[in-house]
Amino acid sequence: MKPSLFDYCSPQTVSEVVSALSEDPGAMILAGGQSLVPAMNLRLASPTRLVDIKNVADLSDISISDGVIKVGAMVRHRDLELDDTVHAAHPLIREMMHYVAHVPIRNRGTVVGSLCHADAAAEMPLLLLLAGGTVTAVGPNGTRDIAAAEFFQFHMTTSRAPDEMILHANIPVLPEGAGYAFHEFARRQGDYAIAAVGAILSVDGGNTVTSARVGACGIASTPVLLNRVEEAITGSTLTKQSIDDAAKVAGDAVTLPDDMHATTGYRKHLLSGLVRRVLAEAAERATGEPVQ
């Protein structure tokens, strides 16, 4: 199929982008195009105007300051993945990005574009939620920061207003000494996840978890934090038994009905296994020793 007819413009400034969006309620932003263009060809998206932001200055910048990695709206997946400074500040980013589609798509697709597409089984929305990050939106009324938990509202639905543009994503650096891990199960490498889990754990000298963030995608209409798992593991000593106990409560977070890829029961079983694996790996990275 081919897309429906649309107008096209290529603004030079952020204010011009906002004006173009405000003038046409049916306008959509084109960045990498790896999600939008296929959706247009299938008539799943029918913008009346494409606002191409490739010529807007400074949107391809990556910077780290005050403990936050700022990722501009035109930063390609591959640029963030291969940035050694980013990797040193938050190694979980590269680990998760390995699962994003395939290298040719990561060469063109943008990180912020993936966040705005907001597929509930995609890795980048989970990363932003897991890290406690935000996005910075700009519109006719100025700029605002939106927390990940508020930004993702439903599958392919965000709280960004139609006349707003996401300038950049803001990802806090990994806490010093924290352990991290990510595992995903998909039918093929590069497919969207049937279920995926990530974790960031901080521990004290006695191997007691002082803070835990554990999240998943592919199991609900948005990426979600596994609050019951976090509560079960926080304050406990890291052992195989404590990890197993935490993994047992993970399945309650699955809210998707049966679909062509998996039943709800299968996703619950899969999620528990992924949580067990991720917690053990994050714990070993935090303590430097295998969990006993």
Q: Does the domain at residues 62-172 carry the CATH identifier 3.30.465.10? A: yes
Taking the domains of the chain in order of start, what are their residue ranges? 7-52, 62-172, 179-287
**Coil vs helix vs strand at 136:** strand
Task: Please name the fold of domain 7-52.
Answer: 3.30.43
Token look-up 């296994």 returns: 273
Residue 108 CA, chain-centre distance (Å), reads 17
Give me the pLDDT at residue 1, please.
75
Give me the pLDDT at residue 135, please.
98
Q: Which two structure tokens, joined as six digits, stand for 26? A: 């049916």
Give me the pLDDT at residue 292, please.
86
- Please report the beta strands in the chain, taking only residues with DSSP state E, as ranges in sequence order: 7-9, 27-30, 49-52, 62-65, 68-72, 134-139, 142-147, 152-154, 157-158, 165-172, 179-185, 195-203, 209-217, 224-225
Q: Kindly give the confidence (pLDDT) of every residue in the chain, 292 residues in length, as a single tens digit, with 9 standing for 90 and above.
A: 789 999 999 999 999 999 999 999 999 999 999 999 999 999 999 999 999 999 999 999 999 999 999 999 999 999 999 999 999 999 999 999 999 999 999 999 999 999 999 999 999 999 999 999 999 999 999 999 999 999 999 999 999 999 999 999 999 999 999 999 999 999 998 899 999 999 999 999 888 999 999 999 999 999 999 999 999 999 999 899 999 999 999 999 999 999 999 999 999 999 999 999 999 999 999 999 999 8
How crowded is residue 280: how many other Cβ atoms within 10 Å of its Cβ? 20
CATH number of 179-287: 3.30.390.50
- Asked if 69 and 89 touch (Cβ cutoff 8 Å), the reply is yes
